[in-house]
Amino acid sequence: MKLETLCFLAGLETPPDPRVGVMEISSVTCNSRACVPGCIYVCILGTKADGHAFIEEALAKGAVAVVTERDHPIADGFVKKRNSAIFIPVTDTRAAIARLFDAWYGHPARGMSLIAVTGTNGKTSVSTMIKAMLDAAMIPAGLIGTVRCVCRDRVLDIRSADETANLTTPDPEQLYHILAVMAAEGVRTVVMETSSHALALKKLEPLCFDAAIFTNLSPEHLDFHGDMEHYFAAKASLLAKTSLAIINADDAYAPRMRECCYGRVVTTSCGLHDADYVASDVHVLGVEGITYTLLGKNSTAARLSSPIPGAFTVSNTLQAAACALQLGVPLAAVRDGLRHLSGIAGRMERVRLPVPVSFSVFIDYAHTPDALENLLRTAREFRQKQQRVVLLFGCGGDRDRSKRPLMAQVAARFADVIYLTSDNSRSEDPTQIFSDIAAGFPQGIAYTLIPDRAEAIATAIRNAAPGDIILLAGKGHETYEIDGAGKHHFDERTIVAAAVAAAFPRGRLEKEE
């Protein structure tokens, strides 16, 4: 593609250089090590490094055009040297690279309906539920999220350049490629989990959404955003990019979110507030799931059910149903999609055990104080008399330290047995993480510290009493562990199965004397 054409399609102003009309661009990258002859190199101001510092390396590898932050001293120095490359100054290189990849892949989202789901908790569940409803309505749909990317019924193998990254919203290089694949395969609607990082880092700059869902907001990612106001602002910025906002009226931030909306607003509530869609006559059926009557102001009334356990499932299904109905999905498809969605990977996921035992094991992604409290409350709702709630959890390294003692406080309030262990310590000393968490335990609260997570899981299973509900919190869908040595395979489902088989080779249905 000619440089002039690429910049025009991306909305970038090119300098008055006659070469822009004839110069062929071979690729777009922000990684100087990935530069090849004929590429355009975009200098990103990263959290750990400044891409402008690698301009010389990019040029040496054949970059013919460089996009820089306007008035950046390093870039100005190269321009003054009258380097042969073409320099394109922009206000924000992050926004520029999103626009460049969107243009490079031919604006793949144009002609498709886009649905965004944002919030601290519930993004994966709500987006997966909407995809299930679209599938039930036989609408060709795609899903982009934390757990996986799905094009119609095919899982896409999309990997980030950073193998230690766990990206809810892919980087622009992957994101617009994914959208292009989906467009080529006839996808009409894409449901996308939208993180605060993606919004703050302008990954979605060229996109506009037909609908956006706000689930909730609680402290998370403050190591990145700094404080709740900046975190809120990142989430709220999505509402300026959508024609329809579905807002959870039960969340404390809902009134402020409504003020940020530019398009039409639809609200949902689990009976706590007046809203456009309300869940009435709610029944939480323990491990069997939930059922309730959806009441809409447009005279919609329908009994909905989901086999996914937990009171939070009511809010998640309600928001997904409201969004689908507002976009014209038939009520029958909404009902069928929810009823047949048996579970979501790593979200209150019951582990299948190799032998019959008298306890159960659940895996959940809960890694914030609010999510952990929801998980524990859910378990306490469906436990029977004398059943213990056994919790195993840790906190991620190189992440917000302020939530660590809060996680301990939640564990102390709602769990009967607590195992403290590792959860992606990354480059941080695990001892420091454990110390930060332990500071939140009230005096007299007993807990067992086992740094090795596999050993902690095995210990919890060996010590399980009949009826125990064992909750493994934090990793959810992840099948890896990241520590100082890097990223390595770690699938809790396999580890649980092996531990159960070793501890109870013949199974156990009642207490053994």
On whether the CB atoms of residues 398 and 423 are closer than 8 A, the answer is no
Give the residue from 103, 122, 138 where a domain finishes. Answer: 103
Same domain, 144 and 204: yes
pLDDT on residue 309: 83
Per-residue pLDDT reduced to its tens digit, 402-429: 999 999 999 999 999 999 999 999 999 9
Same domain, 332 and 371: no
Query: Looking at the domain assignment, is residue 509 inside a domain?
Result: no
72: left (phi over 0), alpha (psi -120 to 50) or beta: beta
Give the residue from 103, 123, 152 where a domain finishes. Answer: 103
Query: Looking at the domain assignment, is residue 83 inside a domain?
Result: yes
Give the CATH number, domain containing residue 116: 3.40.1190.10
Cα–Cα dist 200/502, whole Å: 47
What are the start-end ranges of the H helices in 286-402? 312-326, 331-340, 369-382
Cα–Cα dist 513/507, whole Å: 14
pLDDT on residue 513: 41
Give the residue from 284, 316, 340 where a domain finishes. Answer: 340
Query: Looking at the domain assignment, is residue 511 inside a domain?
Result: no
Same domain, 298 and 382: no
pLDDT on residue 167: 60
58: left (phi over 0), alpha (psi -120 to 50) or beta: alpha
pLDDT on residue 255: 96
Same domain, 46 and 19: yes
Both tokens of residue 36?
A: 């090849």
Reference 175, options 161, 185, 196; nearest CA is 161
Query: Looking at the domain assignment, is residue 275 inside a domain?
Result: yes
* Residue 400 confidence (pLDDT) above 90: no
* Residue 511 confidence (pLDDT) above 60: no
Cα–Cα dist 50/21, whole Å: 29
Whole-number Cα distances in Å, 68 to 4, 77, 224, 465, 507: 17, 12, 23, 61, 63
Both tokens of residue 160?
A: 């980030």
Reference 407, options 431, 377, 436; nearest CA is 436
Structural domain harbouring 247: 106-340
Both tokens of residue 422?
A: 């590792």
Same domain, 241 and 370: no
Cα–Cα dist 121/168, whole Å: 12
Give the CATH number, domain containing residue 362: 3.90.190.20
Per-residue pLDDT reduced to its tens digit, 117-136: 999 889 999 999 999 999 99
pLDDT on residue 348: 82
> What is the chain's mean pLDDT, rounded?
92
Q: How many CB atoms lie within 10 A of CB 505?
A: 10
| Phi, psi for residue 29 in degrees, rounded to 5 | -155, 155
Query: Looking at the domain assignment, is residue 464 inside a domain?
Result: yes
* Residue 40 confidence (pLDDT) above 90: yes
Cα–Cα dist 174/172, whole Å: 5
Per-residue pLDDT reduced to its tens digit, 450-466: 999 999 999 999 999 99
Same domain, 69 and 193: no
Total structural domains in the chain?
3
Same domain, 210 and 96: no
Same domain, 408 and 467: yes
Helix axes 123-136, 312-326, angle to 10 degrees: 50
More confident residue, 475 or 220: 475
How much of the chain, in percent, has pLDDT values that exceed 70? 96
Both tokens of residue 376?
A: 């524990």
Per-residue pLDDT reduced to its tens digit, 146-200: 878 999 999 887 665 554 455 678 999 999 999 999 999 999 999 999 999 899 9
Strand partners, 42: 67
Same domain, 43 and 190: no
Same domain, 82 and 20: yes
Helix, strand or coil for residue 137? coil
Give the CATH number, domain containing residue 11: 3.40.1390.10
Helix (H) or strand (E) holding 180: helix 172-184
Same domain, 305 and 390: no
Same domain, 125 and 18: no
On whether the CB atoms of residues 205 and 241 are closer than 8 A, the answer is no
Query: Looking at the domain assignment, is residue 513 inside a domain?
Result: no
In terms of DSSP bridges, do strands 277-284 and 264-269 run parallel, antiparallel, or are they unpaired?
A: parallel
Alpha-carbon Rg of the chain, whole angstroms?
Answer: 25
pTM score of the predicted model: 0.81
Q: Is the dihedral of CA 58, 59, 64, 65 positive or negative?
A: positive
pLDDT on residue 302: 94
For residue 43, the one-letter residue type is C
Helix, strand or coil for residue 488? strand
pLDDT on residue 370: 87
Cα–Cα dist 239/319, whole Å: 16
Per-residue pLDDT reduced to its tens digit, 215-255: 999 877 777 778 989 999 999 999 999 999 999 999 999 99
Query: Looking at the domain assignment, is residue 455 inside a domain?
Result: yes
